[in-house]
Structure 1
Amino acid sequence: MTALDLSPDALAKVTAEIAATAAEYDRTGDLPWAGIEVAHRAGLLTATVGTRYGGPGAGPRDTARILTAIGEGDASVGLLAANSLNTHAAQAAFGTWPVAAYEDLLRRSQEGPALVNAIRAEPELGAPARGGLPKTTAVRNGDGWLLNGRKAYATGGTGLAYHVVWAVEPETQRVGHLIVPGDLPGITWIPTWDHLGLRASNTHDVVYQDVQLPADAFCEIPRQSDGSYRDPAAAAGPGSFGHPALYVGVARAARSAFAAYARERVPAALGKPIAQTERIQSVAGEIDLQIVQAETLLHGALLRLEAGDTSILPELSAIKVAIGRSVIAAAQTAVAALGNPGLSRHQPLERHLRDALCIRVHPPQEDAVLLAAGRRVLGV
């Protein structure tokens, strides 16, 4: 594994290199391979590989710093990186992957970027965190499994080395994930992604038709003590802050873009950069306040978890929502203050706002979080 350098200077260099191609990938919608390669060369895509596998074993706070830096460069690269880092972190903690499959993923990661993602949502069901069981099935077939079904919002598209596919075994109603190499026969991608933000993330639909897998490919998700199934993403947990971290990076990018424009813009009637006016200085302060708030919530929560403070666990979902609100507020404030230039595709701010808005789609979502928090407060 590449030696990790997580110094501020090293992360800033990664941010700048990834940012150099972000606008072009946003326009084309192609997978942002240039940015992915930058993250790979810096060893960031495998930062959470466990020490028992020869990896750096980066913890949640270092992971958050990595994803903030990548997200500041390009939110789509940040999302692809977050999904891969989350997978490696889960394997380090729980070791559920088949030995041969994980060894293969690590081998591919040595040779180049090897992206991996949990493929869970479905066109009819929607997000699993909302409840329900998948239609995607894993059926016994001799010594292995046959995988069939259609998934939606499968970030990474054809760039994925491995899929972690949420499915049900019809006969027993066992629910679990199947570890699926991305190059197997029977996998077909449907180009459905045409989104407001994260345009280069290639979050397309994918169809699995009689994909043959070995017997150890199925990793069961345990049910609750009462026998019911509750999706793990229904509430935020200690490992849930990778996605918020990358969007903090998006807010930081919006702050930088606002400041650069304000220093360069000299209206004829003013005769000096608008950065020298109290109005723009106050707006910059408001943007900074929102980012400071988001970063403090993010790292404060992770520090409390690191210290073993379990009292914060019921609050994690609300903290994710609060970070999201601050991220969006920072980007919206920057765009609103500049008027037309803030909405122009000749400036990066509109892209940062589009990307920032995507923080809302990651589970658990705000309405569900507020309902659960309200019931907890009221004791009902």
Structure 2
Amino acid sequence: MPFYQSDQQKEYIDELGKAIQDFSKRAQELDETGGFPFKNMEELKQFGYHTLTLPKEYGGRGGSLYDYLLSQERIARECGPTALGIGWHNGVVLELAENQNWDQAVLEEFFREVANGALVNRAATEPSTGSPTRGGRPETTAVKKGDKWVINGRKTFTTLAPVLDIIIVSAWVPEEETIGSFLIHRHNEGVHIEETWDMISMQGTGSHDLVLDNVEVLEKYYVEKLEDRPRGKSAWLLHIPACYLGIAIAARDYAVEFAKTYSPNSLKVPIKDLPNVQRIIGEIELEIRESRHFLYSVAEKWETKPELHEELSKDLAAVKFRITNNAISIVDKAMRVVGAKSLQRSNPMQRYYRDVRAGLHNPPMDDSTIQMLAKSALD
């Protein structure tokens, strides 16, 4: 079922599909070697995808949240880790373009760097605090020294680490007793990447540790304080469920093609004609349709009805919960259609199975979403 809002949107996604047609061919090797999709990222930049959500006045496409989600789903069908990685970059750019909560001169400088090819992500997670959404205080610190800030600490899960040019780092500011965010350039002295990423899923995201050793940052790059960040304005995080939905759709496509063509000698017809296989595929289709309608209806309402943002903020979390769990279910069912072949290391199904599981550990977490929804109903 098409979810395009315009012919222009469809044309863009079709062009994007052509630009990423080789991603799926590289996915298996990336998974096996634990490598990073440097070539994928370069091809996305050549296509201009890194400027999808950058405002037009700075040389970007000025893409909407809806454009962004359609694109993320499409990339994830070819390579989930690539989609999740570039998704964080475009999401941060979209967040800043919408909120405009930085000093204008610094924000414009940042946008110009992105237009010139810079890739960015936030670094907020730490070994001792876990997910920043849980409210833990960073152990990374920022201390004023003259007209600069000196930052020390370690961040984990720094997605896109091998290619990041700009990192927005959260740190505890003792003298102000607040959590601040600092814009740090990769080439700054004292910035190191330790290659620690060793997970069984999302191998290609390059989510290594960021180590900050007496990194000096100019005053102007103290860009925001926690209390000044707009609350509930996190629709850009819908790129997470869009990514896992794309992976699940890839699994569905493989299972459907397998069912159409596989015919054991015990049957005179392909297994697609078996009632039990049709039932499983029907259940898969239902979960995909449910997921896509939920994702894109919430995205459209977010863009067209800003007066509903406070209420829709609950739906943002619910969308992530429902779609990531649906993705796990879809891949599981698809593997039942394919059978034991889906567990072969050379088969993409086992990779999809591992990759969608990672969605449970992206923010917001399932338990916090359910608790939030319960409190909303009870209050």
**Kindly tell me: are residues 106 and 17 of structure 1, through their superposed partners in 2, closer, same or farther at Cα, counting changes over 3 Å?**
farther
* Structure 1 residue 123, shift from structure 2 partner: 0.4
Conserved in 2, the CA contact under 8 Å of 1:98 and 1:216?
no
From 140, 143, 147, the equivalent of 1:139 is 143
Match for residue 200 of structure 1? 204
Check if 1:280 corresponds to 2:309: no
Task: Kindly report which structure 2 residues correspond to 1:21-40, keeping only aligned pairs within 5 A, or say none.
Answer: 21-40=26-45
**Kindly tell me: are residues 242 and 376 of structure 1, through their superposed partners in 2, closer, same or farther at Cα, counting changes over 3 Å?**
same
The superposition leaves residues 88-138 of structure 1 with CA deviations (integer Å, 9 ceiling, x where unpaired) of: 11221233267468636644653x5x3211100000111111112111111
- Secondary structure of the residue aligned to 2:227 is coil
* Structure 1 residue 346, shift from structure 2 partner: 1.7
Conserved in 2, the CA contact under 8 Å of 1:4 and 1:42?
no
From 55, 72, 78, the equivalent of 1:73 is 78
Match for residue 262 of structure 1? 259
CA distance in 1: counterparts of 2:9 and 2:119, whole angstroms = 18
- Secondary structure of the residue aligned to 1:38 is helix
CA distance in 2: counterparts of 1:85 and 1:293, whole angstroms = 25
Check if 1:317 corresponds to 2:323: no
Greater share of helix residues, 1 or 2?
A: 2
Q: Which amino acid aligns with 2:160?
A: G
Q: Which amino acid aligns with 2:342?
A: G
Conserved in 2, the CA contact under 8 Å of 1:47 and 1:63?
yes
From 242, 246, 250, the equivalent of 2:243 is 246
Q: TM-score, normalised by structure 2?
A: 0.90
CA distance in 2: counterparts of 1:136 and 1:207, whole angstroms = 10
CA distance in 2: counterparts of 1:87 and 1:315, whole angstroms = 20
Q: Which amino acid aligns with 1:212?
A: E
Match for residue 350 of structure 1? 350
From 68, 85, 89, the equivalent of 2:90 is 85
Q: TM-score, normalised by structure 1?
A: 0.90
Q: Which amino acid aligns with 2:344?
A: S
CA distance in 2: counterparts of 1:272 and 1:295, whole angstroms = 32
Moved more, 49-58 or 66-75: 49-58
* Structure 1 residue 41, shift from structure 2 partner: 2.1
Conserved in 2, the CA contact under 8 Å of 1:25 and 1:31?
yes
Task: Kindly report which structure 2 residues correspond to 1:1-380, keeping only aligned pairs within 5 A, or say none.
Answer: 6-95=11-100, 96=102, 99=105, 103=109, 106-107=112-113, 109-110=115-116, 112=117, 114-223=118-227, 237-308=234-305, 310=308, 311-379=311-379
* Structure 1 residue 353, shift from structure 2 partner: 1.4
Conserved in 1, the CA contact under 8 Å of 2:53 and 2:62?
yes
- Secondary structure of the residue aligned to 1:210 is strand
Conserved in 1, the CA contact under 8 Å of 2:255 and 2:337?
no
**Kindly tell me: are residues 283 and 364 of structure 1, through their superposed partners in 2, closer, same or farther at Cα, counting changes over 3 Å?**
same
CA distance in 2: counterparts of 1:15 and 1:281, whole angstroms = 31
Conserved in 2, the CA contact under 8 Å of 1:39 and 1:70?
no
- Secondary structure of the residue aligned to 1:374 is helix
CA distance in 2: counterparts of 1:351 and 1:53, whole angstroms = 38
**Kindly tell me: are residues 349 and 185 of structure 1, through their superposed partners in 2, closer, same or farther at Cα, counting changes over 3 Å?**
same
Fraction of identical pairs, as percent: 27
The superposition leaves residues 22-51 of structure 1 with CA deviations (integer Å, 9 ceiling, x where unpaired) of: 111111111101221222222212100012
Gaps of 5+ in 2: 1-7
- Secondary structure of the residue aligned to 1:200 is helix
**Kindly tell me: are residues 5 and 142 of structure 1, through their superposed partners in 2, closer, same or farther at Cα, counting changes over 3 Å?**
farther
CA distance in 2: counterparts of 1:145 and 1:287, whole angstroms = 52
The superposition leaves residues 334-361 of structure 1 with CA deviations (integer Å, 9 ceiling, x where unpaired) of: 1133331112122111111111111111
**Kindly tell me: are residues 287 and 191 of structure 1, through their superposed partners in 2, closer, same or farther at Cα, counting changes over 3 Å?**
same
CA distance in 2: counterparts of 1:260 and 1:109, whole angstroms = 40
* Structure 1 residue 296, shift from structure 2 partner: 0.6
* Structure 1 residue 241, shift from structure 2 partner: 0.8
Q: Which amino acid aligns with 1:141?
A: K
- Secondary structure of the residue aligned to 1:163 is strand
Conserved in 2, the CA contact under 8 Å of 1:186 and 1:208?
yes
Match for residue 227 of structure 1? none
CA distance in 1: counterparts of 2:282 and 2:19, whole angstroms = 26
Q: Which amino acid aligns with 1:357?
A: R
Gaps of 5+ in 1: 225-229
Conserved in 1, the CA contact under 8 Å of 2:106 and 2:220?
no
CA distance in 2: counterparts of 1:181 and 1:261, whole angstroms = 47
The superposition leaves residues 217-266 of structure 1 with CA deviations (integer Å, 9 ceiling, x where unpaired) of: 11222428xxxxx996xx68333211111111111111111122223322
Number of equivalenced pairs: 368
Moved more, 64-73 or 318-327: 318-327
